[in-house]
Chains A and B, each alone.
Chain A
Amino acid sequence: MAGPIRVVVAKPGLDGHDRGAKIIARALRDAGMEVIYTGLHQTPEQIVETAIQEDADAVGISILSGAHMTLVPRILALLRENGAEDVLVVVGGTIPADDADELRKQGVADVFGPGATTTEIVDFLKGAVPA
């Protein structure tokens, strides 16, 4: 597959903390990726629809509300139901270590907490998305 990596950066649920999501979106764009940022308050359905419409290689989900164990599995299930399980799912935000392990088990490619650098996230996506 040719062309730049396409990433949807998404904010599901009611939490309005979008500082991190916007920083990541910009860092990915500056690294040459095509970034679609959904804006706030997206439902899992809207996020999956955007990922499919935009033909995304990866979805980056940012959650700081504590609702990650409800929202992320729902997004994974919807991607599967829509035959889009090849879309790489990455999660960021305030995610306790145990929950991060559980999300990885369920199919999340990786979880990046506070303190993660934009460089490591860019490198991870470049490595994980097949060129």
Chain B
Amino acid sequence: MERGLDVDDFAPRLSFFFNAHLDFFEEIAKYRAARRIWATQLREKYGAKNPRSWLMRFHTQTAGVSLTAQQPEVNLIRTAIEALAAVLGGTQSLHTNSFDEALALPTENAVRLALRTQQVIAHEVGAVNTIDPLGGSYYVEHLTAELERQAYEYFERIEKLGGVVPAIEENFFQREIAEASYRYQSEVEAKQRIIVGVNRYQLDEEEPIEILRIDPALEPQQIERVQAVRARRDSAAVEQALAELKRVAEGDANLMEPIMDASRLYVTMGEMCDALRDVWGTWRETPVF
């Protein structure tokens, strides 16, 4: 909007990325609260007139942190419940984690089961028959209102810090996340939070499951492929595209065009990032824990 665009020119294209954790009703309420906040803010604060601008489109990924290395098949159940919460909360797209991801990168079988989980939700259980099926539930409505209220409290705190960027620079978000994850871990260790198979219902002996092994030969193969692409491209044009990218990065114009131009010439992402790092340097956070 600072560049003179009307909010309705781009707001319908915006989308968000959410995580689906295990607290079923709270998760559903979280998405409902987010959609409500978005619609209200876009209409009232930013003056959007196109109803498509008011729709919060979002992707959801199930929670990696909820996956356990112990009795890993149980992760299928966790992921299914998390995915269902996302669907009931109105997500537009979904990534279900594979059950073996606390052990390694997923096998083909584990990935297929993750996909089948979504397909069962989509086709077998009727979860998609209506939008917002939990609207009107006293509990979900209460949680939605509460989450919305707490979100606005956060917005106020962030505003007081000067906005999102200063808040990042002051480690606000990082500290909040570190605090929450430490609290979660402490609750697990104190058994105030039960994780099936981890701090209750453990097995003395666990059969190891099959996990994916990445063939080390893939690395030299991939290096070879990148080198082959580099050898084939027009190196003068590549140099020029990178110089142009840097030139634009030094100002405040839109970088998308030079990035698209560079991509068409097979400039690698690494080369583009190096060029941008030359101009901007690298952000190093002061770690808080």
Contacts and interface: CB of A to CB of B under 8 A. Distances in A.
Chains A and B bind each other:
yes
Interface of A: 17, 19, 22-23, 25-27, 29, 35, 37-39, 66, 94, 96-97, 113-115, 117-119
A120 to B, nearest CB: 10
A66 B104 contact: yes
Which 7 pairs, one residue from A and one from B, show the smallest C-beta to C-beta distance? A22-B289, A114-B69, A25-B289, A37-B287, A114-B102, A26-B289, A39-B287
Interface string B257-289: 000000000000000000000000000110111
Contacts of B288: 22
Contact of A39 (B178, B208, B284): B284
A113 B102 CA distance: 9
B96 interface: no
Interface residues of B, number: 26
Nearest to A66: B105
Contacts of A97: 208
A37 B101 contact: no
Given A22-B178, A37-B289, A94 B189 contact: no
Q: Taking each of A29, A38, A66, which has the highest tally of chain B beta carbons within 10 Å of its own beta carbon?
A: A66
Nearest to A17: B64
Contacts of A117: 189
A119 B191 CA distance: 13
A94 B101 contact: yes
A113 B69 contact: yes
A17 B67 CA distance: 14
B198 interface: yes
Interface string B189-215: 100000000100000000010010010
Contacts of A66: 104-105, 214
Contacts of A39: 284-285, 287
Interface string B84-105: 0000000000000000011111
A23 B103 CA distance: 19
Nearest to A117: B189
Interface in B49-76: 64-65, 67-70
B251 to A, nearest CB: 27
A114 B287 contact: no
B109 interface: no
A66 B101 CA distance: 11
A92 to B, nearest CB: 12
Contact of B181 (A22, A94, A113): A22
B12 to A, nearest CB: 30
Contacts of A38: 287
Nearest to B72: A114
B73 to A, nearest CB: 15
10 contacts: A22-B181, A22-B287, A29-B289, A39-B285, A66-B214, A114-B68, A115-B68, A115-B198, A117-B189, A118-B185
B182 interface: yes
Given A26-B289, A113-B69, A119-B189, A96 B104 contact: yes
A59 to B, nearest CB: 15
A62 B104 CA distance: 14
Nearest to A30: B182
Contacts of A115: 68-70, 198
Contacts of A19: 65, 177, 181
Contacts of A23: 178, 181-182, 185, 289
B287 A26 contact: no
B171 to A, nearest CB: 12
Which has the most chain B C-beta neighbours within 10 Å: A23, A25, A38?
A23
A94 B185 CA distance: 17
A25 B177 CA distance: 14
Nearest to B188: A117
